Amino acid sequence: MVKRLNIIVFLSLLLAQSGERGDPDFRRSTNIDVNKVRTTIFNFGITGRTGANPGEIPYEWPVNSGQHYIAMTALAVGTEVTTNEGEVRPLVTIPFRSDQSGNSMAWEPVSGYLNPNSQKLAISDDENTWPDTWPDKMNDESDPGWPGSWNGYFGKNQYNAQQEIYYKTSDDRNYILGNPYSPDTTDLSRNGAGLLTGVRVLEWKQILIEDVVFILHEIQNDGSFDYEKVSFSMWLADLVGGDGDSGDDTPDFDLIYDVAWSMDSDGIGNSAFGSDLVGVAATSFIETPGNNVDRIDNDGDGEENGPIIFEDFIADEILGNAIDDNGNGLIDENMTHVPFGDQTGVSYADKIDNDEDG
């Protein structure tokens, strides 16, 4: 039997405005370990480990086995902005970036979402890690700030998951070198693209998902301007078989089901595995916003029985220019959308009720 652990990633987008900013002084880390997967969560967009620190745990499965599969995941979000000088430039925020003076240009945690006297992130099963009040619940007229309550994904004091971590992180330390951009007309000292990301990490003990870590990202445009182009990605560093054995890792990706597979070529890991066969790590994007102008169901949530993109659709299409070059009504269709093997291919919108639901 092939063993498998999973990381499930959700993503949604919001548009609003606030005064929340990132502050490296509030960097913290906490282990999540209530089911069969253990790893370290950092409140600046990283899970797993940031380096060789022995206190940081790569994705370990089963818990306390020392058998590792993923070294790190890291959040990356990019936008296309028009700088103060009128130049269109990409602006991408990822962890580990800094300027020549060592100042962070990466995601940094927003204060107020943890107990500043604790060394941990706010986690549902430890009240000592919670803030006195939650900044994003101050508008609750009946209980402003939810003091003494857990700020759960499923609601106030809802402990649906056995463990849930919650934090917010900001991109306002990032900037374009030599070409400033001000995302917020109410605060010209603010950098970045004006993005805030609420992150939740959840684990359940239920047998069907006891090998799964769920990571939810809620990306909010907190600046003054709309963005026509926003892209999200997850930087994943595989470690299948543990340190010293990851050189034979092989990746694979299912474009239809949005699953990235990380496998070990020979099934043999480092000494922590002993005679145990090395399993497989799977990372899946469960829900992500699609492109709302290309008519392609690139996030896999279109209607059933929709028409499929075939190879002849691609003729004369120039990939990546955001233009319908061949006049078929689709934008940037390419070979990743075409059926292959036992995959059914990607559908597109033809303005016909193909699933007959009105």
For tokens 């056995």, what's the residue?
A: 162
User: Is residue 187 domain-shared with residue 325, that is, in the same domain?
Assistant: no
Closest among 35, 69, 61, 25 to 240, alpha carbons compared: 69
User: Is residue 347 domain-shared with residue 250, that is, in the same domain?
Assistant: no
**Total tally of structural domains belonging to the chain:** 2
User: Is residue 203 domain-shared with residue 256, that is, in the same domain?
Assistant: yes
Pairing state between β 259-264 and 280-287: antiparallel
> Which residue type sits at 86?
G
User: Is residue 336 domain-shared with residue 243, that is, in the same domain?
Assistant: no
pLDDT of the chain, 358 residues: tens digit per residue: 456 677 666 666 665 567 899 999 999 999 999 999 999 999 999 999 999 888 999 999 999 999 999 999 999 999 999 999 999 999 999 999 999 999 999 999 999 999 999 999 999 999 999 999 999 999 999 999 999 999 999 999 999 999 999 999 999 999 999 999 999 999 999 999 999 999 999 999 999 999 999 999 999 999 999 998 899 899 999 999 999 998 999 999 887 778 899 999 999 999 999 999 999 999 998 766 666 677 777 666 667 778 888 888 888 888 877 788 888 888 888 887 887 777 777 887 877 756 666 5
Give the Cα separation of 142 and 299 in Å (integer). 38
User: Is residue 280 domain-shared with residue 301, that is, in the same domain?
Assistant: no
Give the Cα separation of 161 and 355 in Å (integer). 34
Pairing state between β 4-15 and 280-287: parallel
Nearest-Å Rg of the Cα atoms of the chain is 22
- 13-28 b/e (C-beta count within 10 Å ≥ 16 → b): beeebeebbbbeebeb
Tokens of 169: 């992180």
Q: Which of 260, 287, 314 is the last residue of a domain?
A: 287
Q: Is residue 107 part of a domain?
A: yes
Give the Cα separation of 37 and 258 in Å (integer). 21
Burial class (CB in 10 A: 0-12, 13-18, 19+), 308: middle
Per-state percent for the chain, helix, strand, coil, to nearest 5: 5, 35, 60
User: Is residue 342 domain-shared with residue 202, that is, in the same domain?
Assistant: no
Please give the residue range of the domain that contains residue 226: 4-287
Closest among 105, 102, 104, 124 to 41, alpha carbons compared: 124
Q: Is residue 292 part of a domain?
A: no
Q: Which of 242, 261, 287 is the last residue of a domain?
A: 287
Q: Which of 262, 287, 312 is the last residue of a domain?
A: 287
User: Is residue 191 domain-shared with residue 251, that is, in the same domain?
Assistant: yes
The whole-number pLDDT of residue 1 equals: 44
